[in-house]
Amino acid sequence: MAKSDEKKPKTAADAYGAGQIQVLEGLEPVRKRPGMYIGSTGPSGLHHLIWEVMDNSIDEAMAGHGDTITLRLLPDNMASVEDNGRGIPVDPHPQFKVSALELVLTKLHAGGKFGGGGYKVSGGLHGVGVSVVNALSTYLKAEVRRDGKLWMQEYSKGVPQNKVKSVGTAKGTGTKITFQADKTIFETVEFSMKTIVDHLRQMAYLQKALRLNIFDDRDPAKSTGYSFYFEGGVASYVRHINRGKDAKHVNVFYVSKHDVATDVEVEVALQYTDEYHESVYCFCNNIFNPEGGTHLIGFRNVLTRELNTYARSKGYIKEKDTNLTGDDVREGMTTVISVKIKDPQFEGQTKAKLGNPEARTAVESVFGESFKIWLEEHPRDAEAVIGKCLLAAQARAAARAARETVLRKGVLDGFALPGKLADCSSKDPKRSELFLVEGDSAGGSAKQGRDRETQAILPLRGKILNVERARLDKMLANNEIKSLVIAMGTNIGEAFNIEDLRYDRIVIMTDADVDGAHIRTLLLTMFYRYFPELVRQGHIYIAQPPLFRVQVGKEFRYAYTDEQKEKAAKDLAAIITAKKNSKVGKVGEVRKVGKEEVVDESAAEPPSEGGEQQDLVIDGHKVNVQRYKGLGEMNPEQLWETTMNPETRVMKVVTIEDAEKADEVFDILMGSEVAPRKRFIQTHAKTVKNLDV
């Protein structure tokens, strides 16, 4: 054999050839990467399956082909959605030669929303909704009432189990999808009735005169149900959001109109309250856009312009005075903006932001014209709105002056950090974390026990200001808030810049008692209202210090609940018993086992200092239980190993899964009205865990 013909060892490059290129066909990509299609495989992704099926039924209603949708939660974690629309076509598709029903359920990007003939507007734009649900379900059954017959087909993990066939006669038209989510893909397959009710109530507000029925039939003995139907559209939605708040004007502004020039349906409602923050909810084709988009930009431009024009024409703003800013006119405003557009352009499958330029034009035209008329026709309401805006402008000017005084140039560069801040040595924000600790005692333990390179400690003395009832100027007069803002480095209000954040993780570490819970709530309120981007991007955490230290002999464990405490005590007693049985002798006796001398380990050590001491006896063994009411009761080593060590600690990341619900809860718990807070506490008192009285 010639040298040139000798076989050479294969390299990594040689091994990578055409054979390694994998082609995923049909619904395989969905099962391979479910997060790309439904956002996550957690509870939000699970419920996204229901939203995708509901979107198709709501699209039928938007097209004028149905007025009732019924959702049922069934035993074995199944769900069904039934509408009285036209019913998915079942006749063979001219190109693919299979039933259109099977095509819709087994092919991505197949549906009646692309050619222009099936739907004028729709929420399920991508055509992947129901096919994705099919792919991620161990079982799915599609039933269609059409042409006087009931058609049916069943699937398993996206694969048809039979042909589409007629199984009887049927009156009327409609589609029913019954599915069971695949428990090998999702973290949980148990649907939350509360999450579903909140979402479908929102959908009923957005689609006028649509009846949405929800039934929980998982336990036949305890079936519950709700039915939503609203004639008022998004105006009813604004009243719902503002219930319990002090409205500045009785008449809710509302307009619903088709803009002929852009072929966009625009529906807007707004009302001002005595709150200090803005609540705005944007939708396109009934799909929530949490990041807004072009329709929100158009609305804000017109709102600022029209209020300034009206205020100047009526003499509320003098010639020498500056105009109201966007922040001034949006303080305390609750707004719902809903547009319906033929070909929406969203950012990503989750549809967080709308990008259509024509949506901005349509909202500016429809809202601008109607709002100008509303201000003229409701002078008393207009006066209340302008008064609220002028008051906000005065407060903002005071806040700006306070911020410039407190957060002067150079402070945020680290030259004048708060004196009580024990900063970390690392200057890399990605490696750094800031612990907000309650009181000097816990602060002292945390400072001694921390990793000085990456962990900074900021002790907070007492309870910070309740920002739900205060504007920015009063906030910055509070020393604890001022120190926190300076330490974070992001600035606040108009000057906020998340790029300047000095710590990737901001950890709230408070005591496990009533005062600690109150301080934690006050801090969360501040972050939610004034630093929402930190929450959205996952920078805010809550530390989970243990409640108990359970010790038997030299063995000990930490426990976070009463159940864990009892289990730890029994487990440790069993361990010591096993050791005694394997090395028979008196407690503390020195004896030989093999060639080595050992001491019986059931000889108890004195318990660590701190915390309430409780002695139990289990199986003849003395069990010492320490109850930590405060972090200061832990020594630095204990605080490190339980709460601060990245290798062993447990922390909760703070998220905003439902912005409207979060806004409502913060308003109830931290607002000025006592009655709603009392009702909330009475309603939820029995479900509270770890109540410390």
Is 67 annotated as catalytic?
no
Q: Among residues 438, 473, 601, 663, which one is catalytic?
A: 438
Token representation of residue 518 = 């109150």
Catalytic-labelled residue, pool 154, 451, 515, 571:
515
Structure tokens at 587: 């407690």
Helices marked H in 438-561: 439-449, 472-476, 479-488, 514-530, 532-536
Out of 52, 328, 423, 511, the active site residue is: 511
Amino acid identity, residue 603?
A
Residue 623: enclosing H or E segment and its boundaries?
A: strand 621-627
- Rounded to 5 degrees, what are φ and ψ at 493? 70, -135
Both tokens of 613, joined, read 């001491």
Q: What sign has the CA pseudo-torsion 664, 668, 669, 671? A: positive
Active-site annotation holds for 515: yes
Alpha-carbon Rg for the chain, nearest whole angstrom, is 31
CB atoms within 10 A of CB 326: 12
* Number of neighbours of residue 649 by Cβ within 10 angstroms: 16
Which of 534, 477, 465 has its CA nearest to residue 504? 534
Neighbours of 608 (CB within 10 A): 17
Which two structure tokens, joined as six digits, stand for 629? Answer: 């009411």
Amino acid in the structure at residue 58? I
Asked whether the beta carbons of 341 and 358 are under 8 A apart, the reply is yes
Question: What is the chain's percent helix, strand, coil content, to nearest 5?
Answer: 40, 20, 40
Is 91 an active-site residue?
no
Residue 5 burial (10 A CB sphere; 0-12, 13-18, 19+): exposed
Active site residue 511: yes
Neighbours of 551 (CB within 10 A): 22
- The residues annotated as belonging to the active site are 438, 511, 513, 515
